[in-house]
Structure 1
Amino acid sequence: MNKSELIKSLSEQTNISIDEATLVVNTFVDNMKNALLEGDHVEIRGFGSFKVKEYGAYAGRNPRTGQKVEVESKRLPFFRAGKELKEFLND
């Protein structure tokens, strides 16, 4: 399911317009992104949690040429599935 399919499903299930469903989904996603950007973690009980992991710079190697490459530090999103979601998928 992609974002537009989620919007369509929300619109159909709640009998709201596509524009209203788009606003709801975009507001939800934007608030999650802003929380992560500010260093907070986002937890949705029964579904999972999102947080940002920070990775330091390191010396890597280009796999094609074998040449050494400096990899800059970076921040990446990390998702951990909640217990209820894991159980739901494995029952």
Structure 2
Amino acid sequence: MNKQELAGMVAEQLAMPRDATLAVIDTMLDTVTAALARGEDVRLVGFGNFVVAARKASSGRNPRTGEPMDLPACRSPKFRVGRNLKVACNNVD
């Protein structure tokens, strides 16, 4: 499912125009992105948590050339699955 299909399904369930639903989804995603950029966690109870994790600097290899390279420290977004989502995925018929 892509964002357009999601907007169509939500619009149908809520009897809203698809364009308005798409605007709501875009606004939600922008808000989550902004919160994560500020280093905040986003908790959606039952669905899951979006968190920012710090990664230490490390060394690695360029997969194309095999040259060693230094990977800088960075912050990386992660998603931790909530209980309701995990149960729903395991109870698929």
Shift of 1:71: 1.1
1:31-46 correspondence to structure 2 within 5 Å: 31-46=31-46
* Runs of 4+, deviation exceeding 6 Å: none
The Cα offsets for residues 16-75 of structure 1, whole Å up to 9 and x where unpaired, read as: 112211111011111111111111101111111010111122221224433211112222
1:58 paired with 2:64, answer no
User: 2:4 corresponds to which residue?
Assistant: 4
What secondary structure, in the 3-state scheme, does the structure 1 residue paired with 2:39 have? coil
What secondary structure, in the 3-state scheme, does the structure 1 residue paired with 2:76 have? strand
- Cα distance in 2 between the residues matched to 1:66 and 1:89: 39
* Structure 2 letter corresponding to 1:9: M
Over aligned residues, Cα RMSD in angstroms?
1.4
* Structure 1 gaps, min length 5: none
- Cα distance in 2 between the residues matched to 1:51 and 1:20: 28
What secondary structure, in the 3-state scheme, does the structure 1 residue paired with 2:24 have? helix
User: 1:89 corresponds to which residue?
Assistant: 89
* Structure 2 letter corresponding to 1:69: M
What secondary structure, in the 3-state scheme, does the structure 2 residue paired with 1:77 have? strand
What secondary structure, in the 3-state scheme, does the structure 1 residue paired with 2:85 have? helix
TM-score when scaled to structure 1? 0.88
- Cα distance in 2 between the residues matched to 1:48 and 1:30: 17
Counting matched residue pairs gives 91
